[in-house]
């Protein structure tokens, strides 16, 4: 993969907002003193009159976003996932979710790939928290192409959307010319009949890599990219359960309440087959380079392949 171009989806976020500023005059961007990190600074430079820094006050920022949306604007409230979903959870629930307002939450620095900042800033719980809010759409894009398409799709969707972006540069594997983002629709990246690996966000390219490794071991793994975690694509999951009889989920998030739980909810109701979850196992992260942390926590192709082989043996 030496020639693969990489870009962090937070970069995609800032670039997409700036690129879409003229097309969507109601687009307004809020940040909480992290514009340099969330990359909304790119939008600020392109469109300063529609950028508002709320200072280090995430609760108020979410409320301001709600009020803007109630008055016809399309606000993107931007901060780290830890503060967007964690600190401001109750404001997101009551001021945005309950009135079902058209607020887009741009949450960057999700997961342990935040790296050196350590556990306080590594949010592995945001998907679980946001899933509990009725009517909340959750999108976790896998690469630059998907992230940019998801942002425009979120603008054109009327309702609250939580967009999850990463700090770490991710391989760009989608083709910008042909890629189509469909809200709520999973994407089969690779057909397979023995097992299905369902991944999201940064883990999608690792899942594809794992499937290649498994091929050499004679295991034919299907790979599905679930970019929209809520509402989740039930059809693609049930079909995979029926046709492959075993599902392994991979996410840069707690195994409690995230993609794996969402997939298991569908499978247990409609087509019970074993679901093995790879993610952060009910523990905090810690400081270190992102790539090393991902390996340590098993969020890498090697561990995905090993987990699939073990699950296949028990199938």
Partner 1 sequence: MDATTRKQLQATACKVRMGVIEGTFNAKSGHPGGSMSISDLLTYLYFAKMHVDPQNPDMADRDRLVLSKGHCAPALYSVLAQRGFFPYDELKSLRHIGAMLQGHPCIHIPGVDMSSGSLGQGISTACGMALAGKLDNAAYKVYAVLGDGEIEEGQVWEAAMFAAHYKLDNLIAIVDNNGLQIDGPITEVCSPEPITDKFAAFGWHVITMDAHDFDSIDAAFNEAETIVGKPVAIIQKSTKGKGVSFMENQVGWHGKAPNKEEYDKAMAELTAQLSELEG
Provide the annotated active-site residues: 58
Q: Total residues at the site for partner 1 (CB under 8 A)?
A: 29
42 burial level (CB within 10 Å; 0-12, 13-18, 19+): buried
Candidate ranges 37-45, 58-66, 207-215, 281-289; the one touching partner 1 (CB under 8 A): 58-66
Count how many residues are written for the chain. 315
Instruction: Figure out which of the listed residues 6, 19, 37, 60 binds partner 1, where binding follows CB under 8 A.
Output: 60
Residue 247 Ramachandran class (φ > 0 left, ψ -120 to 50 alpha, else beta): beta
85 binds partner 1 (CB under 8 A): no
Q: Which residue shows structure tokens 């087509």?
A: 271
Q: Which of 5, 22, 45, 90 binds partner 1 (CB under 8 A)?
A: 90
| Stretch of 50-58, 145-153, 154-162, 265-273 contacting partner 1, by CB under 8 A | 50-58
Applying the rule CB under 8 A, the residues between 95 and 154 that interact with partner 1 are: 95, 98-99, 101
User: Within positions 65 to 84, which residues make up the interface with partner 1, using CB under 8 A?
Assistant: 65-73, 75
Strands 275-280 and 247-254: parallel
> Which of 89, 163, 90, 80 has its CA nearest to residue 118?
80
Hey, which residues does 79 pair with through a beta bridge? 107
d(CA 35, CA 50): 14
Taking CB under 8 A as the rule, which mask of x and - marks residues 9-38 in contact with partner 1?
-------------------x----------
Tell me how far, at minimum, the Cβ of 76 lies from partner 1, in Å: 13
* Cα separation values, 149 from 17, 34, 175, 225, 284, Å: 11, 23, 11, 15, 32
Stretch that binds partner 1, among 35-43, 59-67, 131-139, 274-282 (CB under 8 A): 59-67
Q: Is 57 in the site for partner 1 (CB under 8 A)?
A: yes
Binding region for partner 1 (CB under 8 A) out of 53-61, 143-151, 181-189, 233-241: 53-61
- How is residue 70 written in tokens? 């109630």
Give SS3 for 196: strand
Q: Is 62 in the site for partner 1 (CB under 8 A)?
A: yes
List 13, 51, 52, 80, residue binding partner 1 (CB under 8 A): 52
Helix (H) or strand (E) run with residue 276 in it: strand 275-280
Per CB under 8 A, residues contacting partner 1 are: 28, 50, 52, 54-55, 57, 59-73, 75, 90-91, 94-95, 98-99, 101
């Amino acid at each position: 993969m030496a020639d693969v171009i990489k870009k962090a989806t937070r970069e995609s976020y800032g670039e997409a907002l700036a690129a879409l500023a003229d097309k969507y005059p109601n687009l307004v961007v809020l940040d909480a003193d992290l514009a340099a990190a969330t990359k909304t600074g790119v939008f600020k430079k392109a469109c300063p009159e529609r950028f508002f820094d709320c200072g280090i006050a995430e609760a108020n920022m979410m409320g301001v976003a709600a009020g803007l949306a109630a008055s016809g604007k399309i606000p993107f409230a931007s901060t780290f996932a830890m503060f967007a979903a964690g600190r401001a959870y109750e404001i997101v629930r009551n001021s945005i979710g309950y009135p079902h307002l058209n607020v887009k939450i741009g949450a960057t620095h999700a997961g342990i790939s935040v790296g050196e900042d350590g556990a306080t800033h590594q949010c592995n719980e945001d998907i679980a928290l946001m899933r509990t809010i009725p009517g909340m759409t959750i999108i976790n894009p896998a690469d630059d192409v998907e992230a940019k398409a998801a942002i425009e799709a979120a603008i054109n969707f009327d309702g609250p959307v939580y967009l999850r972006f990463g700090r770490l540069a991710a391989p760009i594997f989608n083709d910008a010319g042909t890629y189509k983002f469909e809200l709520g629709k999973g994407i089969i990246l690779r057909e397979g009949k023995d097992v299905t690996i369902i991944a999201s966000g940064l883990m999608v390219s690792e899942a594809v890599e794992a499937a290649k490794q498994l091929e050499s071991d004679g295991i034919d793994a299907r790979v599905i990219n679930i970019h929209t975690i809520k509402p989740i694509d039930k059809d693609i999951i049930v079909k995979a359960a029926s046709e492959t009889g075993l599902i392994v989920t991979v996410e840069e998030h707690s195994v409690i309440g995230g993609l794996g739980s969402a997939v298991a909810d569908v499978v247990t109701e409609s087509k019970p087959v074993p679901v093995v979850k790879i993610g952060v196992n009910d523990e905090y992260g810690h400081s270190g380079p992102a790539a090393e942390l991902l390996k340590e926590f098993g969020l890498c192709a090697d561990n995905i392949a090993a987990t699939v082989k073990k699950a296949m043996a028990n199938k």
